[in-house]
């Protein structure tokens, strides 16, 4: 595969782009800067130009124009990724799809909807509210559904409802040569050929530009209840999670916060929870089913020493509780005013989770860093928020070491370097260790679908 | 891509295969015939030789020996596929993995297991029984898990537990050049690169040979209940299914049989159900949850005119009920002694299901054929069993016409030509109509991973 070289973007291409989208193309420095950086600490790499596309046909023509000149193409949704996914490492054209934000269809009988890639998750749920349906995937940010598809995002509801992998039914994609394809039909199942939908879920713009997404929807549950419970130690909390899932309890959310994070949340959100390993639960179902789930989980937690069960049955109490969980990142940063956060993202088989977290806590202590832990523990996925001063080179080295040790520990436990954030260019160095020979197959696929290496070059795979 | 030519199998290759597997290679006609045909009506195409592999390393060496001579490789599990998947259309070597039938690990805490590809689904569930876990995917046949992975199989439990797409966590695969890869780690989630597992699920041996499968498991439910209910017409039965699923009732099985099929089952299994569109239900959960699900579904069915609810709470009654369902195929054939069955397999969005079935019933009447209907209706998937005399050319033409009209109807309704059987060579002609331009992307993938077109050539894609 050709190494991506510095973009051959020039005035002639700019003219062509103007012919395609009129005044919706810009080379203004501020807009380019904004499109070269996501929410992470990774360095900004601005594209040569930003195009605000409004139709699939425009996207196809833009890609063809870039392909003809070997100019890189970087799809852009909301820029809320966490591993430098949108950085234009080799220059090129950022295709911003935020104006492709129409909800095209809601099929209530089939529990599906079709959206343009710039639709954000909150916008979709707002739109769905009157139908009694919702879309459950909730990464921290109010991300675009195209971007969530591209990074195989998940969040707190994944333990029950799955990730983008399970919830994308079909995609429309513009390929690296401008071909427009639909990856699948709208039936729930199919055995008709290769699973192209899943190939593009998690491909981070390196194989094509997603221009439409068909998603699964779910009925808003009749009853919802939430609770918080503290534990004497990490193993008891994790064992509660394991037993809950083994028992087949259809828990909707089960989130872990360690003592450091609970302390941060108490301070940030003016709460008064014990400073101890803590689980946040949410139960969805009928009134009876929720009552039964609650009883089962309370029994399991009780036997493992869980104490101080605090319930939130009313919507406003639940929302206060989950607000504290969603604010965990900001609460962590507030532990050290002025610091920046680096979010790590390993995921391991749940049987290894307690061990992985405990060894990581020892590492944190040894590193001298502040790094609270939050986790989607039902999936074996947890994050540290490393609270760092990016200008302190020594500290950044310690942070990198800590992250690398944690990734290698997760891999040794048959886990992954990223549970939900994706690779971007931040995690690219770990993929060899994670996939070994399989990485050569990924490279074969990339080469087949993007022979010129113009699609978001420098992400997922080193060429 | 090179057109697959007649196999260059010769005595020299036979010698090489003997060096790899000793006496576990044969060119005996009876064995070759058996490996060139599956359970369908599709013609037999025997391979030049059959090798009984016992290790991944052997598979890799066999594939390399074949690749060096441009000789096709056809993976073989149990031969229970339905679209000619195992036929050696261009000759070559059938790699029979039925002796790779070890259950390598069961991780009860993680709800996962690792098996060799020749392990059969009933063997796995027998092995799991004492652990309180089970593997839910149940195609009609007692298929191998490698084969089920390769065809993206499902069955009656898919409405609740998903298909092989959702239940494969990771695979070991031997590529067309002998490379051995592992497609993913054993964590529940990952965003680390392209989803190779999903690429091989449903690839029907055309991209590589599956040599190990890591699967999700589930806890055996505390309570199970089953029921049968008749309806005055097809729409009411299908609307019962739609409302059940929309209500979020976690139904485990919901199967439809039309009046012709019920008549056949009554005669074959000596039963006395009304000869009318009928739903078979199964409910999994705690005692309370099952009781609640039953009440909800009974209300929905009652409002839509469902009558004669017949319950089976005891294991032996349930097993009698489901035996009748599982014998539906043989019951259909018994309607016309001496006939052969052709099983069709379309799947549509559930909102279009009633319409699709009703139009198909008109077609069946016009065709003069006997063709009972059974369906995994929670997924929008149904089968006709066309009861035909293969020696009656006119009848075979009418059967083909009927199938083609049904496929085109399903495609017009945004459905698929195959919900769970796969493409093989029987459905290969429909993929252009189903996928359009996306088929060229599938061809790009095939070309990238199997440039010599030696992996099960002539299946899924025409070259």
CB contact under 8 A, A193 and B435: yes
Give the pLDDT score at A309: 83
What span, in angstroms and rounded, lies between the C-alpha atoms of A289 and A222?
10
- Tell me: do B348 and B388 sit in the same domain: yes
| From A111, A175, A422, residue closest to B441, measured CB to CB | A175
- Tell me: do A244 and A281 sit in the same domain: yes
A190 is a domain residue: yes
CATH number at residue A290: 3.30.70.2190
Is residue B403 pLDDT above 60, yes or no?
yes
Task: Kindly list the residues from chain A whose CB atom is less than 8 angstroms away from the CB atom of residue B194.
Answer: 199, 202-203, 207, 442, 445-446, 460
Please, what is the average pLDDT of chain B?
95
Of the residues B269, B295, B330, the one at which a domain ends: B330
Give the pLDDT score at B1: 45
Q: Give the count of Cβ contacts less than 8 A between chain A and B.
A: 292
- Tell me: do A156 and A131 sit in the same domain: yes
| From A165, A219, A416, residue closest to B246, measured CB to CB | A219
What span, in angstroms and rounded, lies between the C-alpha atoms of B264 and B275?
9
What span, in angstroms and rounded, lies between the C-alpha atoms of A214 and A224?
27
Task: Work out the average pLDDT over A369-393.
Answer: 96
Q: Are A91 and A138 in contact (CB under 8 A)?
A: no
The domain of B310 spans 223-330
| ipTM for the predicted complex | 0.97
pLDDT-derived band at A1, boundaries 50, 70, 90: very low
- Tell me: do B173 and B120 sit in the same domain: yes
| Cα nearest neighbour of A175 on chain B | B441
Name the CA dihedral angle for A444, A461, A432, A42, rounded to a multiple of 10 degrees: -170
Give the pLDDT score at B136: 97
Give the pLDDT score at B365: 97
B299 is a domain residue: yes
| Cα nearest neighbour of B207 on chain A | A194
B97 is a domain residue: no
Is residue A115 pLDDT above 80, yes or no?
yes
B323 is a domain residue: yes
Task: Kindly list the residues from chain A whose CB atom is less than 8 angstroms away from the CB atom of residue B245.
Answer: 111
- Tell me: do A210 and A249 sit in the same domain: no
Give the pLDDT score at A56: 98
CB contact under 8 A, A417 and B192: yes
A455 is a domain residue: no
pLDDT-derived band at A5, boundaries 50, 70, 90: low
- Tell me: do B236 and B201 sit in the same domain: no
- Tell me: do A242 and A300 sit in the same domain: yes
- Tell me: do A230 and A259 sit in the same domain: yes
Task: Tell the residue number behind the tokens 């050290």, with chain if given.
Answer: A336
CB contact under 8 A, B381 and A347: no
Give the pLDDT score at B326: 86
| Cα nearest neighbour of B410 on chain A | A187
User: How many domains, chain A?
Assistant: 3
Task: Kindly list the residues from chain B whose CB atom is less than 8 angstroms away from the CB atom of residue A247.
Answer: 219
Query: Among residues 202-221 of chain B, which lie with CB inside 8 Å of chain A?
Result: 202-203, 207, 218-219, 221
CATH number at residue B412: 3.30.70.2740
Distance from A28 to chain B by nearest Cα, in Å?
A: 33
CB contact under 8 A, B196 and A441: yes
Write b or e for each residue in B161-191: b if 16 or more Cβ atoms lie within 10 A of its Cβ, otherwise e: bbbbbbbbbbbbbbbbbbbbbbbbbbbbbbb
| From B199, B250, B349, residue closest to A107, measured CB to CB | B349
| Cα nearest neighbour of B430 on chain A | A192
Radius of gyration for chain B, computed over Cα atoms and rounded to the nearest angstrom:
22
Q: Are A112 and A186 in contact (CB under 8 A)?
A: yes
Is residue B4 pLDDT above 90, yes or no?
no
Inform me whether the C-beta atom of residue A459 falls under 8 Å from chain B C-beta atoms: no
Task: Kindly list the residues from chain B whose CB atom is less than 8 angstroms away from the CB atom of residue A109.
Answer: 242, 246, 349-351
Q: Which of A56, A193, A239, A409 to mutate to test the interface with B (most CBs of B within 10 A)?
A: A193
- Tell me: do B107 and B214 sit in the same domain: yes
Q: In Å, what is the CA distance from B42 to each residue of A130, B85, B141, B273?
A: 50, 9, 17, 34
Give the pLDDT score at A315: 86
| Cα nearest neighbour of B240 on chain A | A109
pLDDT-derived band at A463, boundaries 50, 70, 90: confident
| From A180, A190, A422, residue closest to B416, measured CB to CB | A190
Lowest mean pLDDT among A305-319, A353-367, B267-281, B391-405: A305-319
- Tell me: do A113 and A209 sit in the same domain: yes
Give the pLDDT score at A203: 98
Is residue A439 pLDDT above 70, yes or no?
yes
Of the residues A330, A364, A392, the one at which a domain ends: A330
- Tell me: do A394 and A320 sit in the same domain: no
- Assign 3-class secondary structure to A155-198: CCCHHHHCCHHHHEEEEEEEECCCCEEECCCCCCCCCCCCCHHH
pLDDT-derived band at B307, boundaries 50, 70, 90: confident
Task: Tell the residue number behind the tokens 């064995």, with chain if given.
Answer: B31
Query: Among residues 349-388 of chain A, which lie with CB inside 8 Å of chain B?
Result: 349-351, 379-381
| Cα nearest neighbour of B176 on chain A | A441
| From B107, B289, B431, residue closest to A349, measured CB to CB | B107
High-pLDDT (> 90) share of chain B, % = 92
Is residue B309 pLDDT above 90, yes or no?
no
- Give the model confidence (pLDDT) of B112-148 as tens digits: 999 999 999 999 999 999 999 999 999 989 999 999 9
For residue A131, give the 3-state DSSP assignment.
helix
Give the pLDDT score at A6: 62
- Give the model confidence (pLDDT) of B36-95 as tens digits: 999 999 999 999 999 999 999 999 999 999 999 999 999 999 999 999 999 999 999 999
Give the pLDDT score at A198: 98
CB contact under 8 A, A188 and B381: yes
Task: Work out the average pLDDT over A350-358.
Answer: 96
Give the pLDDT score at B312: 84
- Give the model confidence (pLDDT) of A16-37 as tens digits: 999 999 999 999 999 999 999 9
| From B180, B416, B445, residue closest to A194, measured CB to CB | B445
- Tell me: do A242 and A343 sit in the same domain: no
Give the pLDDT score at A313: 80
Distance from A423 to chain B by nearest Cα, in Å?
A: 6
Of the residues B190, B219, B248, the one at which a domain ends: B219
| From B179, B288, B445, residue closest to A292, measured CB to CB | B288
Nearest one of A169, A149, A25, A11 to A85, comparing CA atoms: A149
CB contact under 8 A, B350 and A109: yes
Task: Kindly list the residues from chain B whose CB atom is less than 8 angstroms away from the CB atom of residue A182.
Answer: 435-436, 438
pLDDT-derived band at B313, boundaries 50, 70, 90: confident
What span, in angstroms and rounded, lies between the C-alpha atoms of B444 and B348?
27
Give the pLDDT score at B134: 97
DSSP state of A336: S
B293 is a domain residue: yes
Q: Which of B188, B207, B244 to mutate to test the interface with A (most CBs of A within 10 A)?
A: B188
| From A182, A189, A411, residue closest to B420, measured CB to CB | A189
Task: Tell the residue number behind the tokens 């370097």, with chain if given.
Answer: A417
The model's pTM = 0.97
Give the pLDDT score at B162: 97
Task: Work out the average pLDDT over A408-420.
Answer: 98
What span, in angstroms and rounded, lies between the C-alpha atoms of A61 and A78?
22
CB contact under 8 A, A188 and B350: yes
Is residue A200 pLDDT above 60, yes or no?
yes
Task: Work out the average pLDDT over A37-58.
Answer: 96
- Give the model confidence (pLDDT) of A51-106 as tens digits: 999 999 999 999 999 999 999 999 999 999 999 999 999 999 999 999 999 999 99
Q: Are B89 and B25 in contact (CB under 8 A)?
A: no
- Give the model confidence (pLDDT) of A238-294 as tens digits: 999 999 998 999 999 999 999 999 999 999 999 999 999 999 999 999 999 999 999
Distance from B11 to chain A by nearest Cα, in Å?
A: 32
CATH number at residue B174: 3.30.465.10
What span, in angstroms and rounded, lies between the C-alpha atoms of B176 and B72?
10
Distance from A114 to chain B by nearest Cα, in Å?
A: 13
Query: Among residues 282-321 of chain A, which lie with CB inside 8 Å of chain B?
Result: 285-286, 288-289, 292, 296
Is residue B268 pLDDT above 60, yes or no?
yes
**Phi, psi torsion values for A215, nearest 5 degrees:** -120, 155
Radius of gyration for chain A, computed over Cα atoms and rounded to the nearest angstrom:
22
B403 is a domain residue: yes
B244 is a domain residue: yes
Q: Are B144 and B78 in contact (CB under 8 A)?
A: yes
Task: Kindly list the residues from chain A whose CB atom is less than 8 angstroms away from the CB atom of residue B445.
Answer: 194, 199, 445, 448-449
């Amino acid at each position: 595969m050709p190494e991506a070289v510095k973009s051959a973007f020039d005035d002639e291409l700019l003219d062509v782009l103007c012919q395609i989208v009129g005044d919706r193309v810009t080379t203004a420095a501020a807009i380019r800067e904004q499109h070269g950086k996501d929410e992470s600490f990774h360095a900004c790499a601005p594209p040569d130009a930003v195009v605000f596309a409004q139709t699939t046909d425009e996207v196809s023509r833009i890609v063809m124009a870039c392909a003809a000149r070997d100019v890189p193409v970087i799809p852009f949704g909301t820029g809320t990724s966490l591993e430098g996914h949108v950085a234009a490492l080799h220059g090129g054209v950022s295709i911003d799809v935020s104006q492709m934000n129409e909800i095209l269809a809601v099929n209530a009988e089939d529990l599906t909807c079709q959206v343009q890639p710039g639709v954000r998750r909150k916008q979709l749920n707002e739109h769905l509210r009157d139908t009694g349906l919702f879309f459950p995937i909730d990464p921290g940010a109010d991300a675009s559904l195209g971007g969530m598809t591209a990074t195989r995002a998940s969040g707190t509801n994944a333990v029950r409802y799955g990730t983008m992998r399970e919830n994308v039914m079909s995609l429309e994609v513009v390929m690296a040569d401008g071909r427009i394809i639909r990856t699948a039909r709208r039936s729930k199942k199919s055995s008709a050929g290769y699973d192209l939908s899943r190939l593009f879920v998690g491909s981070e713009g390196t194989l094509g530009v997603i221009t439409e997404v068909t998603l699964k929807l779910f009925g808003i549950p009749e009853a919802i209840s939430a609770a918080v419970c503290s534990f004497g130690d990490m193993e008891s909390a994790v064992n509660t999670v394991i037993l809950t899932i083994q028992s087949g309890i259809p828990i909707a959310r089960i989130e872990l916060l360690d003592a450091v994070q609970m302390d941060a949340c108490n301070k940030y959100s003016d709460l008064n929870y014990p400073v101890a390993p803590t689980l946040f639960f949410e139960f969805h179902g009928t009134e009876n089913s929720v009552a039964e789930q609650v009883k089962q989980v309370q029994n399991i937690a009780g036997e493992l020493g869980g104490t101080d069960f605090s319930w939130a049955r009313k919507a406003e109490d639940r929302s206060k509780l989950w607000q504290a969980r969603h604010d965990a990142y900001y609460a962590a940063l507030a532990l050290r005013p002025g610091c920046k956060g680096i979010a790590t993202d390993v995921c391991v088989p749940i049987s290894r989770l307690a061990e992985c977290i405990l060894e990581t806590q020892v590492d944190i202590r040894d590193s001298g860093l502040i790094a609270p832990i939050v986790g989607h523990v039902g999936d074996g996925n947890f994050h540290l928020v490393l609270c760092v001063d990016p200008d302190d080179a020594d500290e950044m080295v310690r942070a990198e070491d800590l992250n690398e040790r944690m990734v290698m520990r997760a891999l040794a436990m048959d886990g992954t370097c990223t549970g939900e954030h994706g690779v971007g260019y931040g995690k690219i160095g770990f993929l060899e260790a994670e996939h070994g020979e399989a990485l050569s197959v990924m490279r074969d696929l990339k080469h087949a679908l993007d022979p010129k290496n113009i699609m978001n070059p420098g992400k997922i795979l080193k060429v």
